[in-house]
Structure 1
């Protein structure tokens, strides 16, 4: 075991305020493609046709059918060991823990994460176009889009943040507070290029946190990390959490 990894484990073991940021790389072992890989999600799809307010305004049925297909794929996936180890870490740290994810796949909540901020929404929910209520989508096997609000019966849209849209009110502010106050910040499986989430690791580091990055590839944040584990999310979390369970 390297000295760097041993130090990271000790710091994590002692921390009472831990902030975690996850990106698409943590869900890749569950079979969900990332956005930026050669075989990534957007390779065969034009973002402008499926993931913008303009696309939805032009052809809501087309957008919904695509999201229904993605929803079905996501619900076939299962949380992996990296997801479940984060729930172990949360239980250990308690109130001072916050997990912030850029993913919309819902795997963190399905793994049991409680102190969770989904910055970009959740693909398993709809959001009413009229009253704004969020509601779970029907089982994917019987879901025929679009869904309708259970309260006011208006059409619902996917409860995800499209390109060009604002994040959910208060979500990023909650994330900022946690990363600014963290003793240890853990950034897993994210390119560290998509703002505003990419700034969270830098914020933690500048506020004095011990910064751990788990990513098989270098990122713009790597130079700031106290410990960079060049591993996939599962391998990295297992290395970091070994002995802390």
Structure 2
């Protein structure tokens, strides 16, 4: 092993309460595009602000068109080696929770219990009512929308239905953010995997962990603004890096 992998392996082996914080970089290794990167989806398609979604039926229709166009990519995505190593460490009792900026649900598919995945940007694998929060499956919404682009409404209260993601301009989920901060405060090792750490307030969470005494590891292809505060920063592929460490972690 090289020195960096050896260092990370020792940190993981010695940790008693590890928390992972994942971003788009781990999901790109599953073939899911990074929407924010140069040339990415949001550069070619202006994001629909939450206020616009609420005010305009046409904006809501466009939002669902984009969702179902992207579904062909998302539905084929499967957990990669990075997801699998995190799930394995979780099942071993080494990882207490996974905080994720991703909306694809791949951590749950890989074997991390839903209750221990903190989705600070929501989840795109289902829809929910913005008023009473009742869930609807995407299949239900698609069956409604494919009939002359009829917009779905909540069967319980008649409210507006949206994918369960946090859109531009929409308030962050208070409970999820509070849970994420508590996990950061209580962990002894905080591992960032695939986040550029430029989206706030999410990018404050690793700082909270560091301020409360946790070792901070950042694994990301490009440098981040927090690399200089980290115990260890690795500009490498996530799946390969975690797999090399995992085989030596008891």
Same fold, judged at TM 0.5 (above): yes
Which residue, out of 232, 242, 245, partners 1:237? 242
How big is the shift at 1:148?
4.2
Residues 130 and 177 (structure 1), Cα distance of their counterparts in 2 relative to 1, 3 Å cut: closer
Taking the TM superposition and a 5 Å limit, the aligned residue runs for 1:111-126 are: 111-114=110-113, 115-126=116-127
Cα separation, 2, equivalents of 1:163 and 1:207: 30
Instruction: Name the structure 1 match of 2:34.
Output: 34
Cα separation, 2, equivalents of 1:85 and 1:144: 38
Instruction: Name the structure 2 match of 1:159.
Output: 164
Residues 143 and 72 (structure 1), Cα distance of their counterparts in 2 relative to 1, 3 Å cut: farther
Instruction: Name the structure 1 match of 2:178.
Output: 173
Q: Does the CA contact (< 8 Å) of 2:126 and 2:136 recur in 1?
A: yes
Cα separation, 2, equivalents of 1:220 and 1:73: 31
Q: What SS does the corresponding residue of 1:234 show, helix, strand or coil?
A: helix
Cα separation, 1, equivalents of 2:217 and 2:245: 10
Taking the TM superposition and a 5 Å limit, the aligned residue runs for 1:1-245 are: 1-47=1-47, 50-58=48-56, 59=58, 60-93=60-93, 97-114=96-113, 115-138=116-139, 144=145, 146-152=151-157, 154-244=159-249
Q: TM-score, normalised by structure 1?
A: 0.89
Q: Does the CA contact (< 8 Å) of 1:137 and 1:147 recur in 2?
A: no
How big is the shift at 1:140?
9.2
How big is the shift at 1:93?
2.3
Cα separation, 2, equivalents of 1:84 and 1:142: 33
Cα separation, 2, equivalents of 1:140 and 1:81: 32
Q: TM-score, normalised by structure 2?
A: 0.88
- In structure 1, runs of 5+ residues without a counterpart are none
Cα separation, 2, equivalents of 1:132 and 1:235: 39
Could you list the structure 1 runs, at least 4 aligned residues long, displaced by more than 6 angstroms after superposition: none
Residues 183 and 37 (structure 1), Cα distance of their counterparts in 2 relative to 1, 3 Å cut: same
Residues 141 and 57 (structure 1), Cα distance of their counterparts in 2 relative to 1, 3 Å cut: closer
Q: Does the CA contact (< 8 Å) of 2:5 and 2:241 recur in 1?
A: no
Cα separation, 2, equivalents of 1:214 and 1:137: 33
Residues 235 and 55 (structure 1), Cα distance of their counterparts in 2 relative to 1, 3 Å cut: same
Cα separation, 2, equivalents of 1:13 and 1:2: 16
Cα separation, 1, equivalents of 2:64 and 2:224: 33
- In structure 2, runs of 5+ residues without a counterpart are none
Q: What SS does the corresponding residue of 2:118 show, helix, strand or coil?
A: strand
